Structure 1
């Protein structure tokens, strides 16, 4: 399922890209999601977050299909004003790829987020994708606030 959303951040595109890769934003995102078992490293223009989520912390719909803890590796690679993300979820038939493109919009930055979410579970994969898509607006609004907060702290 293709998901596209545009948000506005009060900062320059360079500041937004730096924040998207930062340790500070990773920590804020994990706290927002209630995840305590993670690592985040930044090497040049590549940020890697490794996450472990106990099965009991997953939404009830997900626990129907996932009985064990979920481990994921999220890799974000910046190239100019674009951050391309790959999410590798271990042991779960989900594929997530995303790009965040930061373009100047006056004194702010327009951040265009394009995501492709594919759930390969017979008969219910499309339903799970639609459930995920419904949560994107709320998550992106919260994430935009975290990005803005991170930029203020970094500058």
Structure 2
């Protein structure tokens, strides 16, 4: 299942990037998208300033089909990694997105781009959600898409709120 989101943000690419790689923002994002335990790391990938951001969040598996819950139990452990590139000539940034559910054959892989757009930034997520389960993979993907899209909306709203400060 293909997921694409486009959002206009009221900050420069560097301002948005600085928030997305800020430990305080990552903590707030995790708190806003889960009511359970979480942890995160923000690593400088190289001396030029590219970052790797890893979050791990624990969510209830309510809403997943019973067969999917048989893989993960009552809780999901979602591991999300963003590996950011250095800025392009136009100032844009791109992250490889790798999200997976621990113990389950469910992944979200793609890119998150930050592009200059007027006086702000366009954030574009382009990713594929895949459940590698014969016969019922599509059903699992559809069930997982709604909470994933909800988490993306919460994160984007939080990003807009922090940019407005």
CA distance in 2, matches of 1:15, 1:83: 15
Task: Name the counterpart of 2:109.
Answer: 97
CA distance in 2, matches of 1:28, 1:42: 14
C-alpha deviation, 1:10, in angstroms: 0.5
Task: Name the counterpart of 1:25.
Answer: 25
C-alpha deviation, 1:122, in angstroms: 2.4
Between Structure 1 and Structure 2, the one with more helix by share is: 1
Residues 1:82 and 2:94 aligned together: yes
Task: Name the counterpart of 2:15.
Answer: 15
Alignment root-mean-square deviation, CA = 2.2
TM-score, normalised to structure 1, is 0.82
Q: Secondary structure at the match of 2:57?
A: strand
For residues 132 and 75 of structure 1, do their structure 2 counterparts lie closer, same or farther at Cα, with a shift above 3 Å needed?
Answer: same
Task: Name the counterpart of 2:35.
Answer: 35
1:118 to 113, 121, 130: 130
Residue by residue, what CA displacement relative to the aligned partner does 1:90-109 show, whole Å, maximum 9, x if unpaired? Answer: 21111211311111111111
Structure 1, unaligned runs of 5 or more: none
How many equivalent residue pairs? Answer: 150
Residues 1:145 and 2:157 aligned together: yes
Structure 2, unaligned runs of 5 or more: 45-50, 88-92
Residues 1:70 and 2:80 aligned together: no
C-alpha deviation, 1:4, in angstroms: 1.2
